[in-house]
Structure 1
Amino acid sequence: MSEQSTEEQVAQAESAALDLANVPDEERSAALHAIADAIEDAEDEILAANAKDVEAGEEKLEAGEYSQALVDRLKLSPSKLESITEMVRSVAEQDDPLGETLEARRLDDGLELYKVGVPIGVIATVFESRPDALVQIAALSLKSGNAAILKGGSEASHSNRVLYEVIREATDDMPDGWAQLIEAREDVDTLLGMDDSVDLVMPRGSSAFVQYIQDNTKIPVLGHTEGVCHVYVDRDADLDMAADVAYDAKVQYPAVCNAVETLLVHADVAADFLPGIVERYADAGVELRGDERARDVVDVDPASEADWSQEYGDLVLSLKVVDSLDDAVDHINTYGSKHTESVLTETSDRAGEFMQRVDAASVFHNASTRFADGYRYGLGAEVGISTGKIHARGPVGLDGLTTYKYYLEGDGHLVASYAGENPKPFLHEEFDGEWVPGHLASDQ
């Protein structure tokens, strides 16, 4: 591991970012394939390190210091590593986001303006429990030409160290220092104070953890504080389909931010729908909490006001009966976290109304909230899910890790020509064209 100070690591990452931005896509992609191959070759070493983290995590679970959800997120397996390497190769095969001409505008004859995609620069990520997050973020950073500063939680320290070393050794032909691992808790505060050197922070973890990051840095933060997701079973839902989707949204993997936390059911179908889905949930070990109207139909524990805004991250679910689509939308917009919401209905107009009125980064029709994922969206992977509305929203893939520059190609043009008593008018014509260094589109 590096014996450099955090300041030295950040400075090295800054330098590497400038070089990495100009490494050709074929070389960045080849390095990603090398990472995938190296992870496969180091499977035994990675799993042995992870077993130490899991063993320590289970001891803390028994002591009441960790939740089951945290320990579940901590675990790696041969199949999980296979998924990780598949993700890395998928990122490698994505189109290069750098150098893409986003807009082209002719200001005048021989004076052309191009808006071109470029990396953000130095990206810091602070994450808890999930060692696969280290690989996801490193892979997306490399593909998008960004240097990455990686800070994982102490609960995954053995896993993170091995994975980092595997990545570093597999990419020794990339600019030195493009990926940095920091470990000490006090280093996080140092990092958060370096707003002149770090361009973006992406936290992944509990809502309290993300809120701490947001409250303690001037660096732009891309992330979400909670994943309070809903499924609404409409009066016009196919109830068999609705049961399958609602079950998948909670049970398939309850420890993640896109799992459903509250199930809303229209009053017209509550008596027909709730008994069956409650039985399925109970068989899966889901603890259920319902409002008074839900408990008139099924025998579940009472829900409190706090339950409606709770991200359980576990096999716990709240149930609420609503009188209308309006009530469902109002509940979601009041208690939701703007992450992912789903409506189950066979009426397209009602689906459209729900999707347009709900304020969330992702809104689904007749599909599980668990689809809110960068890999499933075809982004290769994600560095996280953003519930904000600036720069990037929803699963953040390569596009969310780029910004843009304006390039202006001219031929001795002077602003004085477009000012004064008889100014020359601008053309301001949009045109299809790709920026080529030193050339005008008309000359290409």
Structure 2
Amino acid sequence: MTAPQVASLPLNAIAQATRQAARQLAVLPTELRNQAIEAIAQALETAMPEILAANVADCQAAEAEGIAKPLYNRLKLDETKLLAAIEGVRDVGKLVDPVGKVQIHRELDEGLILKRVTCPVGVLGIIFEARPDALIQITSLAIKSGNGVILKGGKEAIRSCEILVKVIHQALKTTAIDPAVIQLLTTREEIRELLRLDKYLDLIIPRGSNSFVQYIQENTRIPVLGHADGICHLYVDQAADLNKAVSITVDAKTQYPAVCNAIETLLVHSAIAPTFLPMAAAALTERQVKLLGDEATCKILTISPAQEADWSTEYNDLTLSIKVVDSLTEAVEHINNYGSGHTDAIVTENQIAAETFLNQVDAANVFHNCSTRFADGFRYGFGAEVGISTHKLPPRGPVGLEGLVTYKYQVTGKGHIAATYVGQKAKAFTHKDLD
């Protein structure tokens, strides 16, 4: 028997509705957008038992299907993580409104005035694996910045995403914002269709594995903001405080190993390797970290040898590759060769070495004497983030509100015409910046 044909998904209609709702949202006063954000926070608090129960069901189903440990860790939404997400919603509400800011105010000529004014991007397409807390962050940032958003979560988080969007829609119905500004897609087929909606979507932000992000980038004409890898490094310099270095190493690897800003490679200067590596190894193995090392490291530690592929592997788990280098220059070259441009850090008490590292490492986030785990929109004071971008052009690094607005040029005249400013009797522009 021939299988019945599945009706095409009405994504055009969904996208049109989202764009229309977003246009209305974009012109709402800051106060009304902030009221909606607070309404969402309160609704999430009230619905916490229902949300957590849905997530438990997702986790149980995912475990039964043999979900990978890093993905499971991202999927799990316990009370602590949910409360932190709700706190992030309220933090977004407290941030300065990024919409309607005059960046340039210039007189081109008497009565002819130019303004460059920030405005929302439009409609965002957010495609993410596992993390239901990302949905909460993204929604609050979208509303604050005046953008509509079409969300597509991973199949493993479908119950969590559905209850979250249901709660958010109920909250928005009590405000001036049309709930259509937030949409949720639930099937894999919808992703392919979504990527073709360049008429209605202005930006795609994928959050997931390397292969997942690359698939998105290769299958759409819509601009894509994101990163494919989180291959982060920590370099322990010969002038490092070794106790400080051990503490930072342990935190950067084990505080939350499943995320993209955890380190995957530890680089150690040869001058301090014989002393530092045993100290670091003892602290890391105590936390069940599997260590892999280059030839020089394996002469100091009894661990498995690292392979060439390990230097470009994002483990997202308790595995760490270690390499001994002879100089800061060699460390920087290794990072720029194998790194993904996400986050890299140096531990040193030598300020010149630190400045050299910060200036020469090609990454969106470069740190000195602190854990790579600080590469995060919430920790940067952005309230939350829609993702982290490793692109050279802005927005770069954790993307919060400032990355969700663009700008337009507004010119106001009094009957001015361009012909006045050409020819032998051309009038000169004043080009005077105004307060």
TM-score w.r.t. the length of structure 1 is 0.95
Taking the aligned partners of 2:102 and 2:216, their CA distance within structure 1 comes to: 34
Aligned to 2:4: none
Q: 1:176 Cα deviation (Å)?
A: 4.2
Taking the aligned partners of 1:108 and 1:352, their CA distance within structure 2 comes to: 45
Asked whether 1:213 is paired with 2:216, we answer yes
Aligned to 1:36: 41
Q: Please state whether the residue corresponding to 2:271 is helix, strand or coil.
A: helix
Aligned to 2:68: 67
Q: Please state whether the residue corresponding to 2:407 is helix, strand or coil.
A: strand
Q: 1:431 Cα deviation (Å)?
A: 3.0
Q: Please state whether the residue corresponding to 2:65 is helix, strand or coil.
A: helix
Taking the aligned partners of 2:429 and 2:365, their CA distance within structure 1 comes to: 40
Q: 1:29 Cα deviation (Å)?
A: 0.7
Taking the aligned partners of 1:323 and 1:176, their CA distance within structure 2 comes to: 58
* Pairing 1:72-83 to 2, within 5 Å after superposition: 72-83=73-84
Aligned to 2:11: 6
Q: 1:17 Cα deviation (Å)?
A: 1.3
Would you say the 8 A contact 2:15–2:200 is kept in 1? yes
Taking the aligned partners of 1:305 and 1:53, their CA distance within structure 2 comes to: 37
Aligned to 1:356: 359
Would you say the 8 A contact 1:57–1:71 is kept in 2? yes
Q: Please state whether the residue corresponding to 1:268 is helix, strand or coil.
A: coil
Number of residue equivalences = 426
Aligned to 2:399: 396
Q: 1:390 Cα deviation (Å)?
A: 2.2
Taking the aligned partners of 1:32 and 1:162, their CA distance within structure 2 comes to: 17
Aligned to 1:134: 135
Asked whether 1:100 is paired with 2:101, we answer yes
Letter in 2 for 1:97: P
Taking the aligned partners of 1:307 and 1:102, their CA distance within structure 2 comes to: 45
Letter in 1 for 2:169: R
Q: Please state whether the residue corresponding to 1:177 is helix, strand or coil.
A: helix
Taking the aligned partners of 2:179 and 2:129, their CA distance within structure 1 comes to: 26
Taking the aligned partners of 2:236 and 2:190, their CA distance within structure 1 comes to: 46
Q: 2:59 pairs with 54, 60, 64, which one?
A: 54
Taking the aligned partners of 1:362 and 1:387, their CA distance within structure 2 comes to: 9
Q: 1:175 Cα deviation (Å)?
A: 2.3
Q: 1:109 Cα deviation (Å)?
A: 1.8
User: Taking every aligned residue pair, what percent have the same amino acid on both sides?
Assistant: 51
Would you say the 8 A contact 2:169–2:179 is kept in 1? no
Unaligned runs of 5+ in 2: 1-7
Asked whether 1:166 is paired with 2:171, we answer no
Runs of 4+ in 1 over 2 A off after TM superposition: 429-432
Asked whether 1:178 is paired with 2:181, we answer yes
Taking the aligned partners of 1:293 and 1:50, their CA distance within structure 2 comes to: 45
Aligned to 1:381: 384
* Pairing 1:223-302 to 2, within 5 Å after superposition: 223-302=226-305
Q: 1:298 Cα deviation (Å)?
A: 0.9
Q: 1:52 Cα deviation (Å)?
A: 0.4
Would you say the 8 A contact 1:6–1:182 is kept in 2? no
Taking the aligned partners of 1:269 and 1:29, their CA distance within structure 2 comes to: 52
Would you say the 8 A contact 2:9–2:190 is kept in 1? no
Taking the aligned partners of 2:48 and 2:364, their CA distance within structure 1 comes to: 36
Q: 1:273 Cα deviation (Å)?
A: 0.4
Unaligned runs of 5+ in 1: 433-444
**In angstroms, what is the RMSD of aligned CA positions?**
1.1
Asked whether 1:88 is paired with 2:93, we answer no
Would you say the 8 A contact 1:123–1:199 is kept in 2? yes
Taking the aligned partners of 1:37 and 1:363, their CA distance within structure 2 comes to: 36
